[in-house]
Amino acid sequence: MDLFLKAMKGENKKSRPPIWLMRQAGRYMPEYRTLREKYSFMGLCKHPELIAEVTELPIKRFGFDAAIVFSDILLITETLGCELHFEEGRGPVITPIESVDSLVHHPVVPSMQFVMDGIRLLKERLQVPLIGFAGAPFTVASYLIEGGVSRDLKKTKRWMIENPESFHQLLQVIKRATIEYIQGQIEAGVDCIQLFDSWAHVLSWNHFEEFSFRYLQDIVSEFKKIPIIVFCRGSSFFYEKLAQLEPQVAISLDWHCDMAHIRKKLPKTTLQGNLDPDILLAASREQVVQEVDLLLEKMKDDPAFICNLGHGILPTTPEENVYALIETVHKNKI
């Protein structure tokens, strides 16, 4: 068994930690930028051969210990009858919804067969585990309501607070579609799933329990035979709650916490993270090595640790710093 799946099981003893990065197939790589000159982002996401090609880029270049399917958490919104496109400098744009009644649920797997076909191609080519993923219901709901990226989610929180019953109805619709999507990815061959609740950090503790965690729990309970990683911004605050998703769930931690402290609190949970992406972006090579060494020292002798960032790699990150990160991890023993 490889390092990544061993760490997911808490069995990676007497070896270095596995390493992969969120958004590892993306704009910081010149090969990806070259492809983007030829294809739109949606074009890359919807062609199985291109999905496979982009997913493989960082594996071939850097030798990461796991690959993550190249896609986007919002593609699923098209199966709910929403119009989605991406604009340069703005990101995703969706026609915002004002009620659950405006959604039409199309079968997810046939609608997103391009993802499943891309996964099958990758399983023929890759020598490392393949991670599939989906957006958590609260985060997907926020994009549907806001119509795109919002830093404060005011419209989302207003709906949630003023009409929690219909907000739950919306989350239930998204949850059902998400379960279908994950099942399709599993059947296509992924080895692991990561759930992204990227906007959970805007929630109070009580609202997190009611509108985020409850749905994460429902989704995780559907899949007993595949390891699952849960990432949410705010994980450094919600980690004890997220740990209740055990036994098969790992927690991906943001950079606002001390990994050694979390390990003491959660002695049996697989932990992923938690280097600040700005270190890779702005630090010198020597500083990157120092920061990575510090993280590895904190997690020394830990059989259930996966080295990653606390969020996705930033678009203008120098490749030499990615090499420095990987080389530092490869030469360390835990």
Question: Could you give the CA distance from residue 302 to residue 16 in angstroms, rounded to a whole number?
Answer: 9
239 belongs to the catalytic site: no
Query: Which one of 16, 36, 61, 263 is the catalytic residue?
Result: 36
Query: Which one of 27, 120, 176, 263 is the catalytic residue?
Result: 27
72 belongs to the catalytic site: yes
Query: Which one of 28, 32, 65, 143 is the catalytic residue?
Result: 143
27 belongs to the catalytic site: yes
- Residue 251's contacts (CB-CB under 8 Å, 6 or more residues apart) are 229, 230, 235, 239, 242, 243, 266, 269, 270, 271, 272
Query: Which one of 2, 39, 72, 263 is the catalytic residue?
Result: 72
CA geometry: angle at 82 spanning 78 and 83, to 5°? 90
23 belongs to the catalytic site: yes
In the sheet where 305-309 sits, what is the strand order? 67-68, 130-135, 192-197, 228-232, 249-252, 271-275, 305-309
Question: Could you give the CA distance from residue 102 to residue 53 in angstroms, rounded to a whole number?
Answer: 36
Helix runs in 266-309, H state only: 277-282, 285-298
Give the number of C-alpha atoms closer than 13 A to the C-alpha of residue 101, restricted to the C-beta side: 1
Q: What are 263's two structure tokens?
A: 């390990």
293 belongs to the catalytic site: no
Q: Which residues are catalytic?
A: 23, 27, 36, 72, 143
